[in-house]
Amino acid sequence: MKNFLKSLLYAIALTFVISLIFATYYLIIYGNLDVSFFQSKGALNGMSHGVMLYLANGYLASYVHKCVPDDRAWRKRLSYFIPSSILVTICIVFVINYSFQVLWEGVSFSVFLANQTPGMYILTTALALFIGLGFYAFYFYKASKNSQIQQQKQIAGHATAQFESLKNQIDPHFLFNSLNVLTGLIEENPQKAVDFTTSLSRIYRYVLEQKDKSLVPAEQEIKFALIFLNLLALRFEDALLVQVDDSNVNSEESIIPLSLQLLIENAIKHNVLSPDSKLRIHIFKKGNHLYVRNNLQIKDTLGESTGVGLKNIIDRYRLITPQEVIIHRYSEYFEVGLPLLPIESEL
């Protein structure tokens, strides 16, 4: 209601301005101005035309923009708006003329029809179309500005998500645990310590290389996950069993970087690992998603999960695609499906 009253005030104001323009024109051309005209039925008729056409074309422009939300499809919008505006204008002019002449002045309908000429509609339709195109230009400008604002928000959100992702990926606890394992391996098995250090350096090199990317090839991310799992195998030995099925992963498919690492870390964090309670991690493709599945043997002392790692992945995907991350929790296992996107989806 508030928006309608606002539009009505704008319509009255614009119609009044147009009337003043015509009045000024007649004053300049003919040197006089018939003030009594503004108190006549003709003036009321003209005001009615102006107000109704303003409101009708305004709402029509808004409706067309809702039907065709893509700002780049302006030709399609115009192809809908122009003929609709002409049709709406003709109908409004006919109804207003009928109301004044037949209902108010008592003219018979046959005489009313005989007095209707194309010239009565052409000028009004042209003026209404001109004003309507002004509405179209206004909505186009407004939508363009909103689109720019959304793009800037998306860029800012992307940067924030990447920053949060990097903070989660270079986890101090992970580094601390890795250094503790390395210390033990140096004393127990120097060769394993060398292998562990090599894998650890490759992991952090990959993190630094991928931190500014939105997407990476899924095959590349799986290779990195294998390096990461190799490092974990040195740490947990027989307590961790890994199965990777990547034979049907397409070279053109991509996922967000370091997402597999985060999901593997989540599985390690939330579940018990021991030679008697082995943690099984399975990476495989199903449909257009790459899944990471692990059996459930939840730690009793874990406490309530914050879900930061998984939320980080979901938020990063939402920045670049409407496809959803799939999360399934069953009685025996937990799995997360990452959408596989074409390489060109990268921002």
Both 175 and 318 in a single domain? yes
Both 34 and 144 in a single domain? yes
- Please give the radius of gyration of the chain, using alpha carbons only, rounded to the nearest integer: 35
pLDDT at 288 over 70: yes
Both 175 and 149 in a single domain? no
What range does the domain containing 278 cover?
170-179+212-345
Both 55 and 149 in a single domain? yes
Q: Are 222 and 327 in contact (CB under 8 A)?
A: no
pLDDT at 254: 94
Both 119 and 217 in a single domain? no
pLDDT at 290 over 90: yes
Question: Looking at 38-42, 257-261, 289-293, which range is the least confident one?
Answer: 38-42
Q: Which of 265, 221, 266, 267 is nearest to 244 (CA)?
A: 221
Indicate whether 298 belongs to any domain: yes
pLDDT at 286: 93
Check residues 172 and 142 and name the one with the higher pLDDT.
142
Indicate whether 121 belongs to any domain: yes
Both 113 and 174 in a single domain? no
C-alpha to C-alpha distances, 197 to 168, 224, 235, 244, nearest whole angstrom: 21, 15, 12, 23
Compute how many other C-beta atoms are within 10 angstroms of the C-beta atom of residue 73. Answer: 12
Check residues 146 and 334 and name the one with the higher pLDDT.
334
Q: Are 278 and 241 in contact (CB under 8 A)?
A: yes
Both 20 and 147 in a single domain? yes
Check residues 11 and 346 and name the one with the higher pLDDT.
11
Check residues 324 and 137 and name the one with the higher pLDDT.
324
Going 286 to 168 to 314 to 216, the CA torsion angle's sign is negative
State the Cα angle at 85 between 47 and 98, rounded to 5°. Answer: 45
Indicate whether 189 belongs to any domain: no
Among all chains, which residue has been given the structure tokens 């860029």? 155
Most confident of 99-108, 168-177, 284-293: 284-293
Ordered strands of the 216-217 beta sheet: 216-217, 253-255, 341-342
Q: Where are the alpha helices (DSSP H) in the chain?
A: 2-30, 41-67, 74-98, 109-115, 118-169, 172-188, 190-210, 218-236, 259-270, 308-318
Both 218 and 329 in a single domain? yes
Check residues 282 and 32 and name the one with the higher pLDDT.
282
pLDDT at 92: 84
Mean confidence (pLDDT) of the chain: 77
Given pLDDT bands bounded at 50, 70 and 90, which one contains residue 134? confident
Indicate whether 206 belongs to any domain: no
Indicate whether 202 belongs to any domain: no
pLDDT digits (tens, 9 = 90+) for 196-250: 788 788 877 877 777 667 789 999 999 988 888 888 887 788 899 999 998 889 8
The tokens for 136 are 């179209």
Indicate whether 33 belongs to any domain: yes
pLDDT at 21 over 70: no
Check residues 223 and 258 and name the one with the higher pLDDT.
223
Q: What is the 3-state secondary structure (H, E, C) of 103-147?
A: HHCCCCHHHHHHHCCHHHHHHHHHHHHHHHHHHHHHHHHHHHHHH
Per-residue exposure over 208-243, b if at least 16 CB sit within 10 Å of its own CB, e if not = eebeeebbbbbeebbebbbbbbbbbbbbbeebbebe
- Coil, strand, or helix at residue 325? coil
Indicate whether 207 belongs to any domain: no
Check residues 324 and 181 and name the one with the higher pLDDT.
324
Gap between the Cα atoms of 251 and 210, Å rounded: 18
Among all chains, which residue has been given the structure tokens 């209902």? 103
pLDDT at 287: 92
Both 174 and 144 in a single domain? no
* CATH number of the domain that residue 262 is part of: 3.30.565.10
pLDDT at 347 over 50: no
Both 54 and 21 in a single domain? yes
Percent of the chain residues past pLDDT 70, beyond the cut:
71
Report the number of distinct structural domains present in the chain.
Answer: 2
Indicate whether 309 belongs to any domain: yes
Both 135 and 174 in a single domain? no
Both 108 and 174 in a single domain? no
